[in-house]
Amino acid sequence: MNKQAASGTGVGAGYLLIATIAGLLGGGASVLRQAGIMPDAGLWPVLEQIHAPLMLLFVVIPALVCGFGNLWLPRALGRSGGVLPSLNYAGLGMVAVSGGLTVTTGAQAPAVLLWSVGLLCAVMVLLATIFDSRADYEEQKPFSPFVWGEMLASAVLLVTVPVLAAVMTHQLLSGASTSILPLLDGLTEPVTLVSLLAGFGLVFEVGARGSHFSEKPVIAIMATTAAASVIIWTRGVFAHGLVATVQQPGVLTSPENAVLFASTLASVLLAGLWMAGAWRSRLSLRVPMLWGLGFLAVVSTGWVAQLMQGEGLHSALQLAAVYAAFCGLYLWRGENGGYWYPRAPVILQFVLMATATGLSFSPLSATTQIWSGSLLGVSLFCFLLTMGLSFLQNRKEEEVSSVTTQPVMVSVSKGTVQS
């Protein structure tokens, strides 16, 4: 497989582009709804109806697993690129086409089935790259929490996505008129698990640059949670059906609540290990670290809501996945890639999104909804401004620092002392 290795930077950037477009469309529909200016006809009402599939299928998974997996995974494994490049490009193409079909026609079965095939191609490439890396070196170094998070998230999708495709295919062949949206609701637990695994993998990747964590407990918690949750969810689907898994009452008797309990316990333990490692170190509040702390804050809010009200971790982890995606994006563009981007709009984006997030967790009045939607819209504008300036100038950080230090060097050469 090493002879077929190829750089996945273009594929990873393609997945991030899909996630960005889907996030802007879904976020724009949410902003219009909260601001009370949603049109009665056209594209936006359709986007509002399929807001959940857009965020789950085309934002969370493409960004956290496919995007960052192609951009960072080979480097984290000490490789020049991934394996099976043709299959990787085919997966990207099918996910992109399915996204276009979903936006134009709604979340119909052909679009979701095409997404399932494309995603399976993507995660098989990631898993093959990870397993093939064990044969590259005689000295097999242990995987980092980031690699474990990507591997376990890919394994969860490899097991659960065929279940979704099989149920949808059965509905189509039997001629049942069951709506696709309830079936996608049954996939919420695996997506929540993917957000947990990949999100914490990214957060530990950011924190590892300034502190030392105990990796073995982190990996053990991730692996145990992934294995137990997938077994419980799959058994519940085959026993009760994909739709029924979200309709059973009980604390731990239903598959949904059992997976939520495992996810809640794992997120508490992982956050505790992260904070213990950060407490022993002096971490600088860099831009990726800021978004990583936002991820932890939103997940912590989900714990409280889950324990007090019996619900809330689903939406909290899906919202936290957005924070993790921004954390990984700015880490990839800045510290990993070495490219410049303006910090002030990013900080403003974080403050606005954090404020809108805080408002969304409280009971929303009509005025509060307008404020929350407006703040979210301005936050998205700050993101576009930041990325637009960064990619238009496309400068390395060294070039920026050399330009800013050049006047000082000249003045010193003239004998002027600068304090």
Query: In which region does residue 235 sit, left (phi positive, over 0), alpha (psi from -120 to 50) or beta (all else)?
Result: alpha
Q: What was the pLDDT predicted at 250?
A: 42
* 341: CB partners within 8 A, 6+ apart: 330, 333, 334, 386, 387, 389, 390
3-state secondary structure 33-101: HHHCCCCCCCHHHHHHHCHHHHHHHHHHHHHHHHHHHHHHHHHHCCCCCECCHHHHHHHHHHHHHHHHH
Give the separation between CA 190 and CA 196, rounded to whole angstroms: 10
pTM of the model: 0.82
Q: Under a CB-based contact definition with an 8 Å cutoff, are residues 183 and 241 in contact?
A: no
Indicate if the alpha-carbon torsion angle 134, 140, 141, 145 is positive or negative: positive
Q: Which segments of the chain have a pLDDT < 50? A: 1-5, 244-252, 401, 403-419
339 has which bridge partners?
A: 396
DSSP 8-state assignment for residue 335: I
Q: What was the pLDDT predicted at 168?
A: 80
CA-nearest of 392, 333, 340, 267 to 72 is 333
Q: What was the pLDDT predicted at 138?
A: 56
Give the separation between CA 371 and CA 256, rounded to whole angstroms: 33
71 has which bridge partners?
A: none
Total length of the chain: 419
* Rg of the Cα atoms in the chain: 22
- The domain ranges of the chain are 1-141
Task: Tell me the backbone φ, ψ of residue 300, rounded to 5 degrees.
Answer: -65, -40
Give the separation between CA 142 and CA 165, rounded to whole angstroms: 34
82 has which bridge partners?
A: 6
CA-nearest of 182, 126, 121, 120 to 152 is 126
Report how far Cα 15 is from the mean position of its chain's Cα atoms. 11
Q: What was the pLDDT predicted at 310?
A: 57
Give the separation between CA 385 and CA 377, rounded to whole angstroms: 12
- CA neighbours within 13 Å on the CB side: how many for 183? 23
Q: What was the pLDDT predicted at 30?
A: 73
Give the separation between CA 122 and CA 14, rounded to whole angstroms: 12
Q: Under a CB-based contact definition with an 8 Å cutoff, are residues 144 and 76 in contact?
A: yes
Give the separation between CA 201 and CA 144, rounded to whole angstroms: 8
Amino acid occupying residue 317: L
Q: What was the pLDDT predicted at 152?
A: 93
